[in-house]
Amino acid sequence: MLVTPYRERAIASKSQREQLDGLLKVTAPHEHVFLAGIGVSVLVFLCWMVFGSVTRTLSVDGILIESGPRYPIVSTSDGRLETYLVVPGIRLDVGDPVARQTVPDLEKRAAILHELVDSVAAEIGEGGDEALVSLRASIRKSLLLLEAERIAKGTIVSHRAGVVMTLLRSPGEDLAAGDRIAWVRAASELPLRIVAQVSDGVAQQIRPGMPVTVTIARPDESPRQFRARVADTPIKTLPDWLAPSVPMDPDEPLQRVEFLFDADDVTGVSDGTPVQVHIRLEQHSPATLLVHSRP
């Protein structure tokens, strides 16, 4: 049988249509529903990313402090701390003694005068030379004045009225003139405060009045939570007396922020109690948070 080129092309074209018909399948109705569900889910997710809102919460470590300015008690001269005469919590008036220290310079001069008195007394003997007797009396008078000065300089007193908060040294430690040995807090009617340190980025997001939750956990009791708010105080660096007590990261610049309790029923806590503050930051859309979280 004669096969023409036209017939060969027709046979090849029919074969290709049969292969294509084998590849094409009609989608079942339940598969349409499945694909539509995926599309709706993606659309809902995109709408939530753009128009939804997420509240960010940040937890920072802080410390509870009693209000009132604090003043350092300092050593009077070079020497060694002998003993404290107070304990934290003691109320002081101006001039009350806080500690005793040695005054090596005055002690050496007093020892020299003692030796001089003994030497003059030996020379006087039984003769009672009036000049030597007068000299001995003069030396003794100088010795008494020197002893009074040594006792005065050896007694460290408070120049402010208030409550002893912290003792900074241990007996036996060497002191230089002006070294701090204690902190005294002046009386204040202001409420308890919480002080924490936050990074510059977090500080820019904190606004006065923002609500926070404060958790106070002590070893002898279950954790307690109190409502508080960001205080209306400017964010600034920590004072010298507080810096050693507040947790901080030495590799990151931090700023001070304060919080005030909403109620006055915070009891059973003392100055220096560590706390954890949970700050509720402003709400943002998930898309915004995703963009800002990328480096």
- Binned at pLDDT 50, 70 and 90, residue 82 comes out as very high
Scan for tokens 């919460």, then name that residue: 57
In sequence order, the β-bridge partners of residue 72 are 183
Task: Assess whether 180 and 80 both reside in one domain.
Answer: yes
Task: Assess whether 270 and 167 both reside in one domain.
Answer: no
Task: Assess whether 244 and 224 both reside in one domain.
Answer: yes
- Binned at pLDDT 50, 70 and 90, residue 1 comes out as very low
Judge whether residue 114 has pLDDT over 60.
yes
Task: Assess whether 77 and 173 both reside in one domain.
Answer: yes
**pLDDT at site 109:** 87
pLDDT in tens, 53-63: 666 777 888 88
Q: Has residue 58 been placed in a domain?
A: yes
Task: Assess whether 181 and 246 both reside in one domain.
Answer: no
Domain extent, residue 194, equals: 54-67+190-293
**pLDDT at site 143:** 84
Task: Assess whether 158 and 216 both reside in one domain.
Answer: no
Mean pLDDT of 94-121: 87
> Helix 130-154 and helix 104-124: axis angle, to 10°?
160
**pLDDT at site 249:** 53
- Binned at pLDDT 50, 70 and 90, residue 142 comes out as confident
Q: Average pLDDT of the chain? A: 76
Task: Assess whether 79 and 177 both reside in one domain.
Answer: yes
Identify the domain boundary among 126, 161, 185: 185
Q: What is the share, in percent, of the chain residues with pLDDT greater than 90?
A: 17
**pLDDT at site 2:** 47
**pLDDT at site 174:** 94
Mean pLDDT of 124-141: 75
pLDDT in tens, 183-199: 998 877 777 888 888 77
Return the half-sphere exposure (C-beta side, CA atoms, 13 A cut-off) of residue 164: 23
Q: How many domains does the chain have?
A: 2
Identify the domain boundary among 123, 154, 185: 185
pLDDT in tens, 236-292: 666 666 655 555 555 555 777 888 888 766 776 777 788 888 887 765 565 555 655
Task: Assess whether 210 and 172 both reside in one domain.
Answer: no
Q: Has residue 16 been placed in a domain?
A: no
Give the 3-state DSSP-derived string for the chain, with helices as H, strands as E and coil as C.
CCCCHHHHHHHHHHHHHHHHHHHCCCCCHHHHHHHHHHHHHHHHHHHHHHHCCEEEEEEEEEEEECCCCEEEEECCCCEEEEEECCCCCCEECCCCEEEEECCHHHHHHHHHHHHHHHHHHHHHCCCCCHHHHHHHHHHHHHHHHHHHHHHHHHEEECCCCEEEEEECCCCCCEECCCCEEEEEECCCCCCCEEEEEEEHHHHCCCCCCCEEEEEECCCCCCCEEEEEEECCCCCECCCCCCHHHCCCCCCCCEEEEEEEECCCCCCCCCCCCEEEEEEEEEEECHHHHHHHHCC
Mean pLDDT of 17-35: 57
Judge whether residue 235 has pLDDT over 60.
no
Q: CATH number for the domain including 230? A: 2.40.30.170
Task: Assess whether 175 and 220 both reside in one domain.
Answer: no
Task: Assess whether 146 and 194 both reside in one domain.
Answer: no
Task: Assess whether 181 and 196 both reside in one domain.
Answer: no
Mean pLDDT of 211-216: 86
Q: What is the share, in percent, of the chain residues with pLDDT greater than 70?
A: 69
Q: Has residue 158 been placed in a domain?
A: yes
How far are the Cα atoms of 60, 84, 183, 214, 256 from residue 247, in angstroms, in the given order? 9, 28, 19, 16, 11
**pLDDT at site 274:** 84
Mean pLDDT of 176-182: 92
